[in-house]
Amino acid sequence: MYNILLPESFPNLPRAMQKLQQMFASNTLESHVLVKSLEEDPLLYANILKLVNSPHYGLSNKVVSIHHSVMLLGSTIIRGIVMAAILKKSFLLDLSPYNITIETFDTICALRVKFLNIWLRDENMNIDMPTLTSAAFLMESGKIISANAIMSNHLKEKFVDMLNEKSAEEAEKIVLGIQSYTLAGKLFEKWEFEENFVDLISNIALPQTKEQQILHILSLLINTQGIFTPDRIETATELLVSYDMDKEKLQNAIKTIQKELA
């Protein structure tokens, strides 16, 4: 495996964020502590407000403070935005191997969370929704690492050719020997995320639990190769039946988002 893909080569979580992450993991984080910590990092502060005010979140009024951001979106989403911002600062941002821009990447992350909340609204399932929401936002993070490895090792042409025939995950496995979801899991393990969060991310391709199955459906419907493409909708619907989940709710959620995207 290429050195850039080894967990020991991954960047450490900045010291200022380590305590926050530990509090998230132990479920002891209070919103005022999160707000205060983010206000002490001007660049991160600016990045969060830029993302929160983007069209992805559909907020009617401009958000001008971190406190307001947390109140509107909740600490779980803000955590995802913060961790994504840190990851983007840690690696060269070139997602051209996947034929997308960083703006498209951000759209995918945000759209998954939005779709998830519409899809599972009023769903009577015993699932950890905050953790699932955070995982939905961050599950594509490994592609920043894999794209970096592809570019650094001059594998872009080979990888792009693979994408014409295979899924991104299959192409990653062939070209790099590891899938980006596994990479994301290893990164978040190093950053001391909760064990159940790491398991969620790491097992998206081969889901065992209900939460992992939900993320697997998300990965099919909204990904770097397309959003709600007919073939992926068909595959996702077939899987949903095998997962013993409500097909009609999924289809209604897809139609809702498609109308917004039209």
- Any idea what the CATH number is for the domain that residue 181 is in? 1.10.3210.10
Mean pLDDT of 169-194: 91
- 110 and 85 in one domain? no
Bridge partners of 227, per DSSP, are 222
Domain contains 2: no
In a domain, 175, yes or no: yes
For residue 251, the model assigns a pLDDT of 93
Domain ends where: 67, 90, 113?
A: 90
Kindly report, residue by residue over 100-157, the tens digit of the pLDDT.
998 899 889 889 988 998 999 877 678 888 888 889 989 999 999 999 899 989 999 9
Q: Does 21 share its domain with 46?
A: yes
Residues 6+ apart with CB under 8 A from 29: 20, 23, 75
Residue 194 · residue 25 · CB < 8 Å: yes
Q: Looking at 65, 90, 115, which one is the last position of a domain?
A: 90
Helices (H) and strands (E) in the chain, counts: 14, 2
Query: Which H or E run includes 218?
Result: helix 210-221
pLDDT(179) > 70: yes
**Last residue within a domain, chosen from 47, 74, 90:** 90
- What pTM does this model have? 0.85
What element of type H or E holds 68? helix 66-90
The number of folded domains in the chain is: 2
The answer to whether 148 touches 94, Cβ cutoff 8 Å, is yes
Residue numbers of the domain that contains 64: 8-90
Cβ 186 vs Cβ 195: under 8 Å: no
Task: Measure the CA angle with vertex 55, ends 71 and 58; round to 5°.
Answer: 50
d(CA 204, CA 222): 13
Please report which helix (H) or strand (E) contains residue 231, including its range. Answer: helix 230-242
pLDDT score of 63: 82
Is the confidence at residue 168, as pLDDT, over 90?
A: yes
Tokens of 201: 């991310």
Q: Could you tell me whether strands 222-223 and 226-227 are parallel, antiparallel, or unpaired per DSSP bridges?
A: antiparallel
Q: Please identify which residue in the block is written with the tokens 């992926």.
A: 232
Residue 3 within a domain: no
**Angle of helix 180-190 versus helix 142-152 axis, rounded to 10:** 110
Extended beta strands in the chain, E state: 222-223, 226-227
